A = this chain, B = another copy of it.
């Protein structure tokens, strides 16, 4: 998706792909996923709901997982502009955004289907790591490094583990639904994780965070 190099628009031989077909497929897939949990998400149903041949789907996406990933990407902001100046506010912003997206049944359905698919299909599993898990972790990692560089947090923290603590609970609640994913959850999650970041040996920089409340 969104290749960095513009790839010299290779001259496209034969009939060009119909953009309407493309959209119809995505639209149908979305509407099927919206009927959350109501039976398995199948290519067959997408095709018939979109009035499209199965081949037209497989031509575009080699795998159910790939289609799901595309739907997932669509729901994300084009560019993730990270204001790395304040770690605290960035974390908060990220969590609240995520929580908001996860209120949407479609979004939840996409992610849950992706995880389900990924447990059996290694290709989807790889996509899931590459496109969903890794980028988020990379962004988080970058944020933490920058915060170290700017003295917001001490060096020597276990960044990997901190990212697990941030993302783990979100997936946990998404997949098992033992408890809601809402703003309250986001705030309590932050409140738990923050002390791990700003608990420097010397007086922790509590001031800034307080002002923001």
Residues of A within 8 A of B (CB): 37, 39-40, 112-113, 115-120, 122, 125, 128-129, 133-134, 137, 158, 160-162, 164-165, 167-173, 175-179, 185, 188-189, 191-193, 195-196, 199, 204, 206, 208-209, 212-213
- With a cutoff of 8 Å between Cβ atoms, the chain B residues found around residue A193 in the complex are 165
Known: A115-B116, A120-B40, A176-B129. A199 touches B195 (CB 8 A): yes
Interface centre among A118, A137, A162, A204 (most CB of B within 10 A): A118
Least distance between A136 CB and chain B CB atoms (Å): 10
- Residue A128 contacts which of B119, B169, B176, B204 (CB distance < 8 angstroms)? B176
**How many copies of this chain does the complex contain?**
4
Main secondary structure of the interface of A (DSSP, over half): helix
Offer 8 A-B interface pairs, CB within 8 angstroms, sorted by A: A116-B116, A129-B177, A133-B176, A158-B192, A161-B189, A165-B168, A191-B213, A196-B196
Least distance between A188 CB and chain B CB atoms (Å): 5
Known: A119-B175, A165-B165. A195 touches B196 (CB 8 A): yes
Q: Are the C-beta atoms of A173 and B178 separated by less than 8 Å?
A: no
A178–B204 alpha-carbon span in the complex (Å): 32
Q: Are the C-beta atoms of B188 and A158 separated by less than 8 Å?
A: yes
A213–B177 alpha-carbon span in the complex (Å): 26
Q: Are the C-beta atoms of A158 and B191 separated by less than 8 Å?
A: yes
Known: A192-B158, A208-B206. A172 touches B177 (CB 8 A): no
A69–B185 alpha-carbon span in the complex (Å): 29
Known: A116-B120, A120-B37. A192 touches B165 (CB 8 A): yes
